[in-house]
Amino acid sequence: MNRQRMRAVMRKEFIHIVRDWRSLVLAIAIPMLLIFLFGYALNLDVDDVPTVVWDQSMTTQSRELVSLYDGSPYFSITGSVDNYRDLTYQLESARAMLAVVIPANFAEDLNAGRPVEVQVIADGSDANTAQLVLGYVNGVSMAYNMRVSARQFRPDPALTPGVSLEPRAWYNDDLRSTNNIVPGIIVIVMMVIAALLTSVTIAKEWELGTMEQLISTPLRGPELVIGKLIPYFVIGIFDVALGVAMGLWIFDVPLRGNVLLVFLMSSFFLIGALSMGLTISIVTKSQMVATQMALIGTYLPALLLGGFMFAIANMPRLIQYLTYFVPARYMIEIMRGIYLKGTGLGFMWFNVLLLAIWALFMFANANKRLKLKLE
């Protein structure tokens, strides 16, 4: 392998990138836009749920229950109604997402120690959000029950239970979905941008007629492949640094692991993604077809089957088997482990091994498919 020839290809590719402003926009602006959109728009946390109340009791006890909803950061009392017609209108017009109906005999049954049923109606048109909201409702109900029990009964030390549950969430104490999303979107950006950038390199040479000139030179296949990949590898590492910086300073996502490990794992992943895009470019010889194949082959599998948006454990068994062929799955697990748990190589060596094997296979495949001869 001749280093001088390889450096010449690298220099040529860097010049193409600098002169083609569209490539620079694709390489820098698109990753920033994706991280902003996913970081802010794709927020699975539910706050300030608009809530309407129908208080038929109008007693001190019912007002105390309403105050718990109003004082919670998860609910926002937007109004009150006095009939089901207005309540239905509030839900159907999306002015409220939750309705709380307190019965007229609420205080009497509560004081008499009888069970009381409070009707809670959630807008189920968005099933995931409704499930989260109802979970918050259960929390408010438990808090109110504890208050009532403390007032009605005097605790007897002999009857105090010996086990007290104190739930804690490790690694993501506040259960912020952003902490889970940002490491994943960095992987999505790497996969998509890397494959898109290199998917047009060889195809562009064929369409512009410069591939024949390269074939007439003493240039060898590995020299052309490495010379083409290195400039985009540098851009990919820059995008990773950009994503890490935005995660820390804009979204306040903790990075508990070694930042150098993030870049080391990203290097393996980028080599595989860049080689995959280059292989697509070699096979198709058309920029438009290569771009479409790169999007279909990288973005959709990484987004839907990589565990970024949907938990793999909740997928059907057949789909779970398919996720083993999606390299983004392993990289997302690695990034989230480094970010949230501070995981080292000792705990994720198997994912790292699979990632390295995939990167070497894609690189070797690109070299094998590139034939510097006219057909």
pLDDT profile of the chain (375 residues), mean per 10: 77 80 75 82 76 92 90 89 90 88 88 83 80 85 80 50 52 78 90 82 75 71 83 90 92 90 94 90 82 83 85 85 92 92 87 93 87 57
pLDDT at 193: 82
User: Could you tell me if 56 and 103 are in contact, meaning their C-beta atoms sit under 8 angstroms apart?
Assistant: yes
pLDDT at 136: 86
Domains and CATH numbers, the chain: 3-43+176-369 (no CATH), 49-159 (3.40.1710.10)
pTM for the model stands at 0.78
pLDDT at 168: 62
User: Could you tell me if 334 and 355 are in contact, meaning their C-beta atoms sit under 8 angstroms apart?
Assistant: yes
Question: Alpha carbon 332 to chain centroid distance?
Answer: 9
DSSP assigned state of 341: I
pLDDT at 199: 82
End-to-end CA distance of the chain: 24
Residue 49 backbone dihedrals phi, psi, to 5 degrees: -65, 120
Query: What does the alpha-carbon distance between residue 298 and residue 220 come to, in Å, rounded to a whole number?
Result: 28
pLDDT at 116: 82
pLDDT at 373: 54
H/E stretch holding 50 reads: strand 49-55
Give the three-class secondary structure for 89: helix
pLDDT at 166: 53
Query: What does the alpha-carbon distance between residue 366 and residue 278 come to, in Å, rounded to a whole number?
Result: 6
pLDDT at 291: 82
pLDDT at 169: 63
pLDDT at 311: 80
Residue 285 backbone dihedrals phi, psi, to 5 degrees: 60, 20
